[in-house]
Structure 1
Amino acid sequence: MKVLMIDDNELDLLISRKLISKQVTSLEFTEFTDASQALFYLQELQENEFDIILLDLNMPDMNGWDFLDEYQKLDAHKANVYILTSSLDTRDKLRSREYEVVKGYFDKPLKSNYIAEIINSQQVY
């Protein structure tokens, strides 16, 4: 499985990758600290190569919502998006349900039960 992680905090990316790798060793990671760069990368692919996207919401320039709006417009097969955020705004969780590609909403920091839920849901598809 291939995982795309988008978070402006490099430490959060490192921690998430290490925690996920402890539980599931067969994953390949691609990371971006800028959502617009990640979107450009996805637009350049002939077809989506990712199974999972872990997405932060609160980022400068292009935030997670902006990314989702543009990602939905891509013609390629869509990966399952899991929001991983430090946002305390309960409206964000409700808003995430408006996006068909969003399969989960988790609070930071990433926890082992979140990882298990994400991986188990992937095996259903």
Structure 2
Amino acid sequence: MFLTIKETEDNSISILVVDDEPVYRKVMKRLLIKEGHRVTLAEDGIDGLRILKNKEFDIVLTDINMPNMNGWDFLRNIEELYPDIPAAIITGLSGQEKIHSEERSMAKRILKKPISFSEIRK
């Protein structure tokens, strides 16, 4: 997998998926559960931070363009409050050149929508 994580005996990991698109959240959850992982969903950065206060995760996957708190602000909060949790951006932006170097450094990986699980495994 693209991030170094602590795996359980059954090789499952706990993943927080943060995305404002309900259909996309459900698809991601189905894909990740099918691979044997534990998945929690959040609809935006504010919801994601609320969930992170109460539960530990191995990885956070977040969209960029979301209402209330966008993915960049969410990642800044994760860096400050939960620096040991690796995060990846899932974006529909056309071309990673639109992502500035400061922003790029906040995410371990930038994945383009639509995403396949084989992309996450790389």
Runs of 4+ in 1 over 3 A off after TM superposition: 93-96
SS of the aligned residue for 1:98 comes to helix
Report whether the alignment pairs 1:36 with 2:46.
yes
Question: In the alignment, what sits opposite 2:69?
Answer: 62
Question: In the alignment, what sits opposite 1:122?
Answer: none
Unaligned runs of 5+ residues in structure 2 are 1-12
Q: Quote the sequence identity (%).
A: 30
2:117 aligns with one of 99, 106, 112: 112
Deviation at residue 21 of structure 1 after TM alignment? 2.9
Letter aligned with residue 112 of structure 1: F
Question: In the alignment, what sits opposite 2:89?
Answer: 83
Unaligned runs of 5+ residues in structure 1 are 118-125
Distance in structure 2 (CA, Å) of the matches to 1:93 and 1:104: 14
CA RMSD, Structure 1 to Structure 2 (Å): 1.9
Say how many residue pairs are matched: 109
TM-score (norm 2): 0.78
Distance in structure 1 (CA, Å) of the matches to 2:58 and 2:40: 11
